[in-house]
């Protein structure tokens, strides 16, 4: 296996605009020898497509309830439109990307998270060997967060929706990545006074969730960081709206947001 470092990056539609530099940063890191894997979301686009089809959207505890009709849109938008647009954009910048979903090759095997949520999965296994083979071959995997139902020790034919933040955390853990970086549209994790926190230990991050200081869509991001930290991965939730925020973090150690690690001193 190659000794070059692995970084898992989670990007969402909210941080990918016409002036965004994240994809440029990913290509630059690939050229420098980093083995990068990307997980992308697409919740806003899914909601738009569901609205266009007059299909109601409902959330429970921040997770989209995914019935059979909604699942068709989820798979089409995530594994199709958004995934291939990202691959095309990275390729146009000179990168070597390959798009896949967690259903491809059984990359993400999942159980049903909660019957109330419908076709929403909880990750049971990440095929890290598949990802490492792609990384070692020089590809930048771009992963859409859907997987295959795993029941009775075998794969079923059912595709499942998965929270993209959770996917990123599980992938980072499985790959023993050096870094897990979330690019968001906020200035990091906020404390009780509303100000952004530069660093959190795992214990401090857990306490903020318990105190409900961390809430909403930030919860799965922080929980994913805590999961990755179990494998000694260093994690960060940074402001992807800032130019070259990813390069600033990885190359210069300048984090425009919040780092979370097992160490109280930070990365």
Kindly give the confidence (pLDDT) of every residue in the chain, 267 residues in length, as a single tens digit, with 9 standing for 90 and above.
447 899 999 997 555 554 578 999 999 999 999 999 999 999 889 999 999 999 988 888 778 899 999 999 999 999 999 999 999 999 999 999 999 999 999 999 999 999 999 999 999 999 999 999 999 999 999 999 999 999 988 999 999 999 999 999 999 999 999 999 999 888 889 888 888 889 998 999 999 999 889 888 888 999 999 999 998 899 999 988 888 999 999 888 888 899 998 765 555
What local confidence, expressed as pLDDT, does residue 244 receive?
92
What local confidence, expressed as pLDDT, does residue 241 receive?
85
Q: What are the structure tokens assigned to 259, written together?
A: 């780092």
Active-site residue (options: 121, 169, 221, 240): 221
Distances 265 to 173, 183, 198, 213, 261 between C-alpha atoms, Å: 21, 22, 11, 21, 9
Domain residue ranges in the chain: 6-261
What local confidence, expressed as pLDDT, does residue 50 receive?
94
CA distance 80 to 78: 6
Active-site residue (options: 25, 42, 104, 165): 165
Length of the chain: 267
Q: Are 99 and 38 in contact (CB under 8 A)?
A: no
Q: Is 236 left (phi over 0), alpha (psi -120 to 50) or beta?
A: beta
Residue 57 dihedral angles phi and psi, to the nearest 5°: -115, 135
pTM of the model: 0.92
What local confidence, expressed as pLDDT, does residue 16 receive?
58
What local confidence, expressed as pLDDT, does residue 14 receive?
53
Q: Residue 43 catalytic?
A: yes
CA 71-73-76 angle, 5° bins = 105
Active-site residue (options: 12, 41, 42, 43): 43
Cα pseudo-dihedral 185, 190, 196, 197, rounded to 10: -120
CA 250-171-71 angle, 5° bins = 120
Q: Residue 102 catalytic?
A: no
| Residue in this structure with the two tokens 């979903």, named with its chain if needed | 101
Q: Residue 217 catalytic?
A: no
Helices (H), the chain: 22-31, 43-52, 68-75, 83-92, 128-136, 164-175, 202-210, 218-229, 245-252
Q: Residue 13 catalytic?
A: yes
| Residue in this structure with the two tokens 């999965």, named with its chain if needed | 121
CA distance 99 to 85: 9
The domain 6-261 is classified under which CATH number: 3.40.1160.10, 3.40.50.2300, 3.20.20.140, 1.10.3720.10? 3.40.1160.10
Q: What are the structure tokens assigned to 119, written together?
A: 């076709």
Q: Residue 62 catalytic?
A: no
């Amino acid at each position: 296996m190659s000794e070059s470092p692995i970084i898992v990056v989670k990007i969402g539609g909210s941080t990918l605009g016409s002036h965004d530099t994240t994809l440029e940063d990913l290509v630059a890191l690939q050229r420098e020898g980093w083995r990068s894997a990307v997980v992308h979301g697409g919740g806003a686009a899914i909601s738009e497509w569901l609205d266009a089809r007059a299909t109601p959207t409902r959330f429970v505890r921040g997770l989209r309830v995914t019935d059979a009709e909604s699942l068709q849109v989820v798979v089409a938008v995530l594994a199709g439109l958004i995934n291939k647009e990202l691959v095309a954009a990275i390729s146009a910048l000179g990168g070597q990307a390959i798009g896949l979903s967690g259903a491809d090759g059984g990359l993400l095997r999942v159980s049903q998270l909660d019957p109330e949520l419908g076709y929403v999965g909880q990750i049971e296994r990440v095929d890290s060997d598949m990802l490492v083979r792609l990384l070692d071959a020089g590809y930048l995997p771009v992963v859409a967060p859907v997987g295959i139902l795993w029941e009775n020790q075998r794969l079923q034919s059912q595709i499942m929706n998965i929270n993209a933040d959770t996917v990123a955390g599980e992938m980072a853990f499985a790959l023993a990545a050096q870094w897990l970086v979330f690019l968001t549209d906020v200035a990091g994790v906020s404390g009780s006074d509303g100000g952004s926190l530069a660093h959190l230990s795992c214990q401090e991050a857990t306490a903020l969730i318990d105190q409900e200081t961390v809430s909403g869509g930030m919860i799965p991001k922080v929980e994913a960081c805590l999961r990755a930290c179990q494998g000694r991965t260093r994690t960060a939730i940074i402001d992807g709206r800032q130019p070259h925020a990813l390069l600033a973090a990885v190359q210069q150690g300048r984090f425009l947001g919040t780092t979370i690690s097992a160490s109280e001193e930070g990365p």
